[in-house]
Structure formats: structure tokens, C-alpha cells
Amino acid sequence: MFLIVFAPRNLIIGHLLMLSLAADPVVNDVMTPDPISVTSSTSLTQAIQLIADRHISGMPVVESDGKLVGVISESDLMWQETGANPPPYIMVLDSVIYLENPATFERELHKALGQTVGEVMTKTVITIAKDAPLKQAAQLLHRHNIHRLIVVDDTKSDTKTVVGILTRGDIIRYMASHQEE
């Protein structure tokens, strides 16, 4: 739609700027639709090969019906190579006093010894709706110090169906393509 206005040039430029600001990008404009995903029963060998072959750093973990159950990333897979270190402790009168939380060690050990995606994936996933402002997505990535957001269809209240993935790289590429010369 075009709007013809007979006004001084500065006024027209001001209106055009306001119109361009009103059309802020949304996640759907920048995300990668239909991302590569795995199920929780996928072997770690397959997940590692998929991540390496596709040059990605992580992917959603879904059930057979597409419902989101977690995310698997390079960070989750690194435990396979690094292993888990037992927490430091001291012994006093035949009692063990841990200097760090032993539950953390148990989680790390479980990830290091896991054989399937479901055993090592991150179960708490930060998601965003496809119609959310891109600025909100960038803020979430920065605030939570994560590299990707799983984009979900929020029209279904009972399930989170994956419709895309948005990475820091996607946002940077968008910024580069929309810079003013």
C-alpha cells in the first residue's frame, strides 16, 4: 500500500522512518524453519554424527508427534569426552564432607556415561513464539547466555510443537543484511 502525502520533505522522511520502525522484524522472519531434530531414543553416536555432518551446534529433541522434550547441544555432548570429576571433599572422623554439591557430580556423570540423547539432553528449554519480536529473542539469548532458541507454535496450549530454530548467527546475519550503507 502506498501513501502519497504532499508535505515538506523532512516530514515525509519522518513518516517513512516511523513506518519502518513499526515493521520491526519477528522471529518468523529470521528463524530456520523445520530444523533438524532427534528423538530422545536416538543414540549419541547418531546425534554426534548429525551435528558434525550438518555443521550445527545443537538441535531440538522431540517426541514422535513433534512435541518438544529437550535440546541437545555441543555442550551436552562434550561430557562424553571430558568425563566428570568427583567433587572435592574432606574426611573428618570417618565422615565425608563434600566441598561442592555432589548432585552436580551425579548429573555430570550421568551425561558422561549416557548412551542416548534422552540421557544427556538439556530438559529445560527456553523457547520463543514465532510471532515474537526479534529484539525479544536477542534479549533472551543474551540474558540466558545460550546459543539457540527453539521456536514453537504457541497456538496449541497443551503442547509445544517445534516450527523452527533461531541462533545467534541467524540474528547476526539478519543484522548484516539490514545495515544502512
**Pairing mode of beta strands 58-62, 68-73:** antiparallel
Q: Tell me what pLDDT residue 119 has.
A: 86
The secondary structure of residue 55, as a DSSP letter, is T
How large a percentage of the chain has pLDDT more than 90?
45
CB 77 within 8 A of CB 44: yes
Q: What is the dihedral of CA 68, 160, 151, 29, to 10 degrees?
A: 140
Q: Tell me what pLDDT residue 7 has.
A: 45
pTM of model > 0.85: no
Bigger pLDDT: 103 or 32? 32
Q: How high is the mean pLDDT of the chain?
A: 78
At 119, the amino acid letter reads E
Cell triple for 163: 516450527
Per-residue confidence band for 161, with pLDDT thresholds at 50, 70 and 90: confident
| Segment among 16-20, 95-99, 157-161, 177-181 with least mean pLDDT | 16-20
All structural domains of the chain? 25-177 (3.10.580.10)
| Segment among 29-43, 78-92, 149-163 with least mean pLDDT | 78-92
At 162, the amino acid letter reads V
Q: Please, which residues have CB within 8 angstroms of residue 97's CB and are 6 or more apart in sequence? A: 89, 90, 91
Alpha-carbon distance of 169 to 147, in angstroms, equals 8
Cα 91 vs. chain centroid, distance in angstroms? Answer: 42
- What are residue 168's DSSP bridge partners? none
At 110, the amino acid letter reads H
pLDDT in tens, 79-113: 656 555 666 656 777 776 766 676 766 666 556 56
Find the DSSP H helices in the chain: 9-22, 27-30, 44-54, 74-82, 102-113, 117-120, 134-144, 168-177
The secondary structure of residue 41, as a DSSP letter, is T
